[in-house]
Structure 1
């Protein structure tokens, strides 16, 4: 017979099937039951990555109207583009044309561009290299203005000025304007074989309405231009000392960094134009004649040209030098 439990007659709830099973086999929390061996942990590489948990989407926020309007940030001014400076166009010389007689140059002992290279040309090539080096390294356009002068007449300053201008015009990237500033004795046009009596520098200084570029003669020597002395009058020195002189010279060099001006002036100890023009140039070439120009005259001329900060000496008509190198054999033919 199977074991029978007592019937609870006092109204107690009979034990359920689960409770009797727990009592018999000890599977519930009250039983001890058998202990199972622990399950070894799964190696790391064999584990499956955990499934990503869905992110909760935040509820949209409802903007709350501000109680008081906030001050708006002031707009920052935008930088205005700087206007680019326009390139200044070079003032073109638009005066009359003139042909220079090469035979006239040869008879005067001057450089002829088409002739073979001579000792005379080589000498002036040496001179022009030093002048060009200072002209190109100068901080202002004044360095491209060169005054040629001498203490006394007859020392060859016009002869040197013309030869220097012709030698400089041979440079491929230069324009050379030879200005006859010797109003007392204008000889540049005569040495070049150009018809005299034309208007020039003094006409532009006396009349502000005259455009100086319209008086410049265009020669058939490439790169060489000539501005005659013009009409002489009793106020030549006063015109040269006026502020208009600077305006005229600036007009002749405006927008043309490759333009060189050569001024042939009267002797420094004989007339005042050289001293007046010295303040408008960056280089001065003082021509002195060997065995004739005295030291005192040289010092006096240098003092009169002191407005120019760069004065160079050119020894003319030398027959020998301590080094044995000849220089200035052209001097006997000078002015």
Structure 2
């Protein structure tokens, strides 16, 4: 017998581990199944390889806002810093754009994926490994692409296209136009197909179709872009994919599309400059023709052939001033044309540069302005004008445009002042040439205009040639420093990690199942569970027995069942009053089905093993009698109900001998009455117990469940000991609180628990009951 201290601070590691140790085979099975699944997964998974390439970005800056010369000073003063149109970080983002992904898909027909189906694992065919090439000519508007793949098979070398989703099965001709519900396609023989490279190939293939946007999004997710080093301008491109030829093609196409866009961006500036120069050449050519015509007409009208005359010294003195006027005049014209062009410009377009304007500040401002315009146009390919970055660049462009205009106006004023100074000097010299005819002065004026136009014309022709050369010779912005290559070993599946994870999962799953089972288990399963719920002593554990084994203890019985009841017999001696004979022992429970009648019957039989003991068992559960089922051969005419109801019935009339034990008598419940509580409280039961005490050493009273009816509480005062039966894996833990409350309130006295139907692994003393006895 054990008394429970009910101390929750005592941690019993054995109790914690017991549910897991008792189901150790679960873990073995879990690990075995997990390993089998892991090996199956590894066997059926395609190896995934890492394909990498590296490019060097030319003219890229690491630090944002880096600037040199006057442009850097202007950015610092005006607040235009913080955005470098050629920063390496921007180039990283360009590589990730969906526009480039769309170009890759369009240029390589990646909307269609072809897989061979003759193996357990589907294997993608691409390039020279695919016997056919499928091209999507155009997508049909507002039509959804198929979720399931099409099947392409060959019947007598003729392709047949099938789809369960669209209920299609049609023979097609190579190279002919095919109209599908979602797109128009063409299926052609692949001239690059290498049968030796592929080996054995079947005649059925799965065809997966995808939209342009869907395929582009897949490319975006696959390709990884990062810097090789924080201080370098080398970008690493990589992706993990099972079809290595396709992966290498994607990386090469990505680099080609990037360079193509970069060249277009760079040429846009030179193209605008060329257009401006061509317009100016046409205008200057027309003006030069007018000047030459006026000069010719002047000579004809005044019959002049040679103007080099008397004033040679004065003319030589004024040659320097004249030279300066020519240069300043040309600069003035260029400056004025740029101002006019700037005022006429609509939207955000690049400005002509390197047209011969001799002003470094304006040239640098124009160069910086063009970079910002190009950067803005690039961002607008993947963003809206309301994007914060686009708005920031737009503000910078507007501010820069104002700065350019102010710079040109200041330059114009400066040129005009210088020109006025040289004109004034020339006038002073001219006033000294008093002998030069009026005609000569007019001629010199025409000649001077002619020289200005000629110089400007030649300058524009030179700049046009330079611009044409820059358009014709453009090097790629991204130079490939590491062509695409495939890793030596697959990066997936990682066999060691998968096997380790399978081991962990194989152990973890049974652990979680057992833990959840224990967590949500509200039933008592062992003595340890019961000890945690009550301070009431536990006097015995009754083992679970099979249905094909007799449920009653026999004489000279050495089974586990008999041994457990002998321990119960020993333990109750410590709870019964000292030096007292003729004890009344109540056997009760909380609800029906916990085994109180089973315990009552076997306890009575065990008590009779002593030669001096005579025992009687009374079935007081007159609402639901159960004693009769242990003695099916007996047909009692009268029982407790009749005795309580009829004062003339004697004790001897209701006493019956137990067929298997002559020392154990039985008083059956009798007929089920309509008023059980009135009968049990009419006093006759107390009289019966007193008379039985004279005849018997032990009186076992099989009572009604306490939680269901109050019958037992009405006569519990007659009990010397109350045995409270609970059943393993049946009695809810909450019911123990009812027993505790009944003891605390005094409804029950001298109570002890019996745990019935305990499984072998949950025995508090191990599973050794009967050890050495069963083998006799």
What TM-score comes out, normalization by structure 2 length?
0.27
Which of the residues 631, 642, 649 maps onto 1:210? 649
Q: In the alignment, which residue of structure 1 is the partner of 2:714? A: 276
Which of the residues 701, 706, 723 maps onto 1:263? 701
Which of the residues 524, 538, 552 maps onto 1:111? 552
| 8 Å Cα contact 2:581/2:697 also seen in 1 | no
Q: In the alignment, which residue of structure 2 is the partner of 1:92? A: none
Q: Report the Cα offset of residue 165 of structure 1.
A: 1.0
Q: Report the Cα offset of residue 303 of structure 1.
A: 4.2
Q: Report the Cα offset of residue 296 of structure 1.
A: 2.9
Which of the residues 299, 304, 318 maps onto 2:758? 318
Moved more, 281-290 or 239-248: 239-248
- CA pair 194-250 structure 1, distance change in 2 beyond 3 A: farther
Residue 175 (1) aligns with residue 614 (2): yes
- CA pair 286-116 structure 1, distance change in 2 beyond 3 A: closer
Looking at structure 2, the residues matched to 276 and 216 of structure 1 have their Cα atoms a distance apart, in angstroms, of 23
- CA pair 167-307 structure 1, distance change in 2 beyond 3 A: same
Q: Report the Cα offset of residue 307 of structure 1.
A: 3.9
Any idea what SS the aligned residue of 1:267 has? coil
| 8 Å Cα contact 1:318/1:327 also seen in 2 | no
Any idea what SS the aligned residue of 1:277 has? helix
| 8 Å Cα contact 1:150/1:157 also seen in 2 | yes
| 8 Å Cα contact 1:198/1:228 also seen in 2 | no
Taking the TM superposition and a 5 Å limit, the aligned residue runs for 1:150-165 are 150-165=589-604
- CA pair 215-282 structure 1, distance change in 2 beyond 3 A: same
Q: Report the Cα offset of residue 292 of structure 1.
A: 3.0
Residue 126 (1) aligns with residue 567 (2): yes
Q: In the alignment, which residue of structure 2 is the partner of 1:251? A: 691
Matched positions, count: 219
Higher helix share: 2
Residue 225 (1) aligns with residue 670 (2): no
Any idea what SS the aligned residue of 1:223 has? strand
Residue 286 (1) aligns with residue 728 (2): no
Q: Report the Cα offset of residue 195 of structure 1.
A: 2.6
Q: In the alignment, which residue of structure 2 is the partner of 1:191? A: 630
- CA pair 108-322 structure 1, distance change in 2 beyond 3 A: closer
Any idea what SS the aligned residue of 2:599 has? helix
- The runs of 5 or more residues in structure 1 that have no matched partner are 1-105, 329-335
| 8 Å Cα contact 1:282/1:308 also seen in 2 | no
Any idea what SS the aligned residue of 2:643 has? helix
Q: Report the Cα offset of residue 131 of structure 1.
A: 1.9
Looking at structure 2, the residues matched to 188 and 322 of structure 1 have their Cα atoms a distance apart, in angstroms, of 29
Higher strand share: 2
Q: Report the Cα offset of residue 197 of structure 1.
A: 4.9
Any idea what SS the aligned residue of 1:249 has? helix
Structure number with the bigger relative contact order (C-alpha 8 A, sep ≥ 6) is: 1
- CA pair 267-327 structure 1, distance change in 2 beyond 3 A: farther
Q: Deviations over 1:274-302 (max 9, x none)?
A: 22231111111101112332333123245
Larger Rg belongs to: 2
| 8 Å Cα contact 2:585/2:721 also seen in 1 | yes
Which of the residues 558, 561, 578 maps onto 1:137? 578
- CA pair 139-159 structure 1, distance change in 2 beyond 3 A: closer
Residue 241 (1) aligns with residue 681 (2): yes
What TM-score comes out, normalization by structure 1 length?
0.59
Any idea what SS the aligned residue of 1:317 has? strand
Q: Report the Cα offset of residue 108 of structure 1.
A: 6.3
Looking at structure 2, the residues matched to 252 and 227 of structure 1 have their Cα atoms a distance apart, in angstroms, of 11
| 8 Å Cα contact 2:727/2:755 also seen in 1 | yes
- CA pair 304-184 structure 1, distance change in 2 beyond 3 A: farther
Q: Report the Cα offset of residue 214 of structure 1.
A: 2.5
- CA pair 290-113 structure 1, distance change in 2 beyond 3 A: closer
- The runs of 5 or more residues in structure 2 that have no matched partner are 1-546, 771-776
Note the aligned Cα RMSD (angstroms).
Answer: 2.6
- CA pair 275-107 structure 1, distance change in 2 beyond 3 A: farther
Q: Report the Cα offset of residue 162 of structure 1.
A: 1.0
Looking at structure 1, the residues matched to 756 and 568 of structure 2 have their Cα atoms a distance apart, in angstroms, of 12
| 8 Å Cα contact 1:285/1:314 also seen in 2 | yes
Q: Report the Cα offset of residue 167 of structure 1.
A: 0.7
| 8 Å Cα contact 1:170/1:222 also seen in 2 | no
